[in-house]
């Protein structure tokens, strides 16, 4: 008995630490990359054409996973056609498990969850239909474990992936359960299952390590991009971000009938806040204005994107809204803003007022600068009207 166990372990070790494993690992990584890259490219193209759909993205991942499973099995069967199944060690199954488990953690899609629920039932049912196995309680329990683990990961993947104990617990149970489903189909012993689960554990540990490094690099990159594209004081998008966003926005909306409106506003007599009360008070004013507009644009589902484009000057890009719609939204936010005050000198309280310019993109706006200059001119019309005013398509009105 001991010799049989030892021979099985030695046999597995020789197979695992071989050139075949390198080839299988390379193919598996390639499949993971193609899955992620292919879906990313399609989603990016859908975003550009404004046809993004959750259903389409779900279908893409379902098709992608199906192709990956079939591809892995056929490639390995073809590459090792002269090797008996028992000698191959079912490495392609390990590769398939790596893809399934990786997608569960990284791809938060319902189709991935359902794929992991249906596949073990399909494989076991197919074995029964083909007469390879009979009905047994152990594989049924293993399928239930796979379903439970898959659902747990789907619900908590963001937290589990960073908790090593929980991550590796789900990993080991997932591998063990799958090999128990395949136990009678491939005539595996308990020692075989333990060795193959260890193989799966090693493979996923390498993938997990690489994924953590990639996530860390991406997080650093996103943090850097956020620093570049957001205003450090107010937290809203800055002028650099504005310049990047408006180019694509103008190209899209100048070629279709959907409305695009820009609002520009600045804080009245802002220099006096700095001169009379100091720059700390001026900073408080800027943060209050940015916070109020940011919060209400989201709360009102206004589809407006806020930018700080100058010292006390802000711009809002409204996609799919007319100038009249935007006037109502901005007036309402402004009315809430003037109700707020900032305490200075421990007893004085100061209020904030703004001047506003609004215009909608026109057919004769041959470039973005033409559009921008008109809105800027409307803002200065409001400022020339004793400030605390709003100018919409050239019509000036004082704000009460």
- pLDDT, tens only, 147-174: 999 999 888 876 777 778 888 888 899 9
**Pair of tokens at residue 274:** 């700095």
User: What value does the mean pLDDT take over residues 138-147?
Assistant: 92
pLDDT of residue 48: 46
More confident residue, 18 or 348: 348
Phi, psi of 247 (to 5 degrees): -60, -50
Q: How confident is the model at residue 85 (pLDDT cuts 50, 70, 90)?
A: very low
For the cut 80, the answer to whether the pLDDT of residue 351 exceeds it is: yes
Q: What is the pLDDT of residue 227?
A: 52
pLDDT of residue 376: 95
pLDDT range class, residue 88, cuts 50, 70, 90:
very low
Q: What are phi and psi of 316, to 5 degrees?
A: -130, 130
Is pLDDT above 50 for 180?
yes
Categorize the per-residue pLDDT at 384 as very low, low, confident or very high, splitting at 50, 70 and 90: very high
Q: Which of 41-55, 143-157, 217-231 comes out lowest in average pLDDT?
A: 41-55
Residue bearing the bigger pLDDT, 168 or 31: 168
pLDDT of residue 256: 83
pLDDT of residue 216: 67
Which range (12-21, 92-101, 370-379) has the least confidence? 12-21
> According to the model, what pLDDT value does residue 372 have?
94
Secondary structure (3-state) at 232:
coil
Confidence of residue 73 (pLDDT cuts 50, 70, 90): confident
Do 8 and 189 touch, CB atoms closer than 8 A?
yes
Residue 220 pLDDT exceeds 70: no
Pick 260 or 131 by higher pLDDT.
Answer: 260
Residue 275, helix vs strand vs coil: helix
- Residue whose pair of structure tokens reads 């193989």 in the numeric block: 199
Report the pLDDT value the prediction gives residue 356, as an integer from 0 to 100.
96
| Rounded Cα–Cα distance for residues 128 and 32 (Å) | 31
Q: Comparing 330 with 103, which gets the higher pLDDT? A: 330
Characterize 259-293 residue by residue with b for buried, 16 or more Cβ atoms within 10 angstroms of its Cβ, and e for exposed.
bbbbbbbbbbebeebbeebeeebbebbbebbbebb
Q: What is the pLDDT of residue 206?
A: 78
Work out the average pLDDT over 273-302.
Answer: 89
Measure the CA angle with vertex 97, ends 183 and 158; round to 5°.
130
pLDDT band at 52 (very low <50, low <70, confident <90, very high): very low
The fraction of the chain above a pLDDT of 90, given in percent, is 30
Q: pLDDT at position 86, please?
A: 41
Residue 396, pLDDT > 60, answer yes
- State which H helix or E strand residue 397 sits in: strand 395-398
Mean pLDDT, residues 297-312: 89
List, in order of start, the domains of the chain with CATH numbers: 2-228 (no CATH), 239-398 (3.30.70.270)
- Taking 80 as the threshold, does the pLDDT of residue 328 lie above it? yes
Position with higher pLDDT, 271 vs 78: 271
Q: Pick from 346, 204, 353, 210: which is nearest to 292 by CA?
A: 353
Q: In the prediction, which pLDDT does 195 show? A: 80
**CB of 387 within 8 A of CB of 268?**
yes
**pLDDT band at residue 333, thresholds of 50, 70 and 90?**
very high
pTM of the model: 0.50
Q: At 388, is the pLDDT very low, low, confident or very high (cuts 50, 70, 90)?
A: very high
Of 378, 392, 284, 299, nearest to 340 (Cα)? 284
Q: CA 167, 172, 178, 180: dihedral to nearest 10 degrees? A: -150
């Amino acid at each position: 008995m001991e010799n049989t166990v030892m021979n099985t372990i030695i046999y597995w070790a020789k197979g695992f630490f071989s050139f075949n494993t390198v080839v299988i690992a390379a193919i598996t990584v390639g499949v993971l990359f193609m899955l992620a890259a292919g879906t990313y490219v399609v989603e990016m193209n859908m975003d550009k054409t404004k046809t993004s759909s959750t259903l389409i993205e779900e279908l893409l991942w379902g098709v992608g996973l199906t192709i990956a499973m079939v591809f892995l099995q056929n490639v390995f069967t073809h590459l090792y056609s002269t090797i008996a199944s028992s000698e191959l060690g079912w490495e392609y199954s390990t590769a398939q498990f790596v893809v399934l488990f990786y997608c569960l953690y990284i791809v938060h899609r319902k189709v991935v969850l359902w794929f992991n629920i249906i596949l073990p039932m399909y494989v076991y049912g197919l074995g029964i239909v083909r007469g390879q196995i009979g009905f047994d309680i152990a594989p049924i329990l293993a399928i239930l474990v796979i379903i439970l683990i898959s659902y747990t990961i789907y619900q908590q993947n963001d937290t589990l992936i960073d908790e090593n104990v929980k991550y590796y617990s789900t990993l080991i149970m997932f591998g063990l359960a799958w090999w128990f489903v395949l136990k009678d189909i491939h005539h595996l012993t308990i020692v075989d299952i333990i060795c193959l689960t260890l193989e799966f554990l090693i493979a996923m540990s390498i993938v997990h390590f690489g994924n953590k490094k990639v996530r860390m690099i991406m997080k650093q990159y996103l943090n850097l991009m956020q620093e570049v594209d957001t205003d450090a004081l107010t937290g809203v998008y800055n002028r650099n971000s504005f310049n990047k966003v408006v180019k694509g926005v103008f190209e899209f909306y100048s070629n279709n009938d959907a409305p695009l409106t820009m609002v520009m506003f600045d804080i009245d007599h802002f220099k006096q806040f700095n001169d009379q009360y100091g720059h700390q008070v001026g900073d408080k004013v800027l943060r209050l204005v940015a916070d109020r507009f940011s919060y209400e644009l989201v709360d009102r589902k206004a589809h407006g994107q806020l930018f700080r484009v100058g010292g006390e000057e802000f711009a809002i890009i409204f996609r799919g809204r007319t100038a009249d719609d935007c006037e109502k939204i901005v007036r309402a936010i402004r009315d809430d803003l003037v109700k707020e005050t900032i305490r200075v000198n421990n007893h004085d309280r100061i209020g904030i007022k703004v001047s506003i310019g609004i215009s909608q993109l026109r057919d004769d706006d041959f470039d973005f600068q033409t559009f921008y200059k008109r809105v800027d001119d409307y803002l200065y019309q409001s400022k020339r009207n004793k400030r605390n005013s709003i100018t919409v398509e050239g019509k000036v009105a004082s704000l009460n």
